[in-house]
Amino acid sequence: MERTKFVLDQKQMPTRWYNILPDLPQPLPPVLHPGTGKPVTPDDLKRLFPMALIMQEFSPESYIEIPEEIQAIYRMWRPTPLNRAYRLEKALGTPARIFYKYEGVSPAGSHKPNTAVAQAYYNKKEGVKRLATETGAGQWGSALAMGCMMFGLELKVYMVKVSYNQKPYRRIMMETWGAKCVPSPSMDTQSGRAVLAKDPDSAGSLGLAISEAVEDAVTHDDTHYSLGSVLNHVLLHQTIVGQEAMKQMEMAGHYPDIIVGCVGGGSNFAGVYLPFLRDKIKGGKKNLRIIAVEAQACPHLTKGVYAYDFGDMAGLTPLLQMYTLGHTFVPPPVHAGGLRYHGMAPIVSHCYKLGLIEAKAEFQVPVFEAGVKFARAEGIIPAPESAHAIKVGIDEALACKESGQTKNILIALSGHGHFDMSAYNEYLTGKLADYAYPEEKVKEAQASLPKVPA
């Protein structure tokens, strides 16, 4: 009988996070202070983050030990399974072998707790009482609510208004774990009030929600800010996923020819591919293809510019060199597939700039079509974000059908879609429309990119 699931024993769970920074063929561009334009120092960031996370952000070490307190919580759901998608392969009639690393088994239903638990732990250890954060579709807010609950921290979540209204169960999930969740833009911050004064009906954006959360943190002495993607230390924490996947692919007797993951800020995708990227850079796996899949409504890699930009709308954060649509860009409210952030993680952006990874942008109707096809074959209803990766994974499998090649395709399935039924209903009832990014809005947003000296 063919084996369909590859599960590691808890004793095989990685006990270190992998740091790609020392292995990159070219160093990552520095993070710049928004006031001076000079590289930030640890002291510049300590008002927002605990020093342990700041040190991880710039660490020259290849591996960082995972504290036992974090490992103990990880073991509630880790290691997560790697599955062989035999039923999907049969439905497609492809000779390709399709594997998916499934993070939906976590209590929050996604990969996000891998960093949420770590960030809550390090803040608690430094004596912080309260965290402020943003969330788009609600996966990150849910995960951090769980992490804060585990370590007895208060949490305020600014949730992008369009998602707040579309996904009430995400808010309820956060509140069940003890967090306070408000729609962004809100009247609770100057950043939110300024937007509402101009546009009372603003649907919000992730960049704006970040501005509100950062403002909240810097105006409360007992509060730090927490981010669920983009930054180096967040991607670092997610590498436990890719390290497990490497062991599980070895159990399966195969090595990936293609790795596919969705990208919003980049943490889920990076968590899977970065451990394999070391093989591509140093281990002779030059033909390994790594594909980032983004939304056509928010195509930062494929249509953005590589430039220094703020991570938030109000310009409160340090400047990151990344692929960006412009920090004032607001995605369309009709976009149901998530992945709404205006920029891309510096590490992912850097890898794309160096040609180490590829990028594709997909329309939401075929993305949901792929999600339904996957659900009807494998039984798992994927998060809309994850369905972007599934769409391209299916495309690659069909290309193998055309060529007759047998390739190994690894899909990062970052979470389940149980809280996204309204979006699936829009698709199933024929109400979901394709939407490309509004080029004029992007040009307008990119015109406001900060001026950075060469």
Using CA atoms, how far apart are residues 444 and 330, in angstroms rounded to an integer?
11
Using CA atoms, how far apart are residues 4 and 100, in angstroms rounded to an integer?
11
The CA–CA distances, whole Å, from 144 to 54, 165, 396 equal 18, 20, 34
DSSP H helices in 253-320: 267-282, 300-303
Question: Dihedral (C-alpha) 289, 233, 203, 322: value to the nearest 10 degrees?
Answer: -60
The phi, psi pair for 106, rounded to 5°, reads: -70, 160
Tens place of pLDDT per residue across the chain (454 aa): 577 999 999 999 999 999 999 999 999 999 999 888 899 999 999 999 999 999 999 999 999 999 999 999 999 999 999 999 999 999 999 999 999 999 999 999 999 999 999 999 999 999 999 999 999 888 899 999 999 999 999 999 999 998 898 888 999 999 999 999 999 999 999 999 999 999 999 988 888 899 999 999 999 999 999 999 999 999 999 999 999 999 999 999 999 999 999 999 999 999 999 999 999 998 888 899 999 999 998 899 999 999 999 988 878 889 999 999 998 887 776 666 667 788 999 999 999 999 999 999 999 999 999 999 999 999 999 999 999 999 999 999 999 999 999 999 999 999 999 988 988 999 999 999 888 777 787 788 888 888 886 6
Contact 143, 228 (CB under 8 A): yes
Global pTM reads: 0.95
Q: Is 18 left (phi over 0), alpha (psi -120 to 50) or beta?
A: beta
Domains and CATH numbers, the chain: 17-65+112-225 (3.40.50.1100), 78-109+240-446 (3.40.50.1100)
Using CA atoms, how far apart are residues 367 and 308, in angstroms rounded to an integer?
30
Residue with tokens 């007797």: 253
Closest by CA to 143, choosing from 326, 45, 268, is 268
Local structure of residue 453 (DSSP, 8 states): -
Using CA atoms, how far apart are residues 206 and 168, in angstroms rounded to an integer?
17
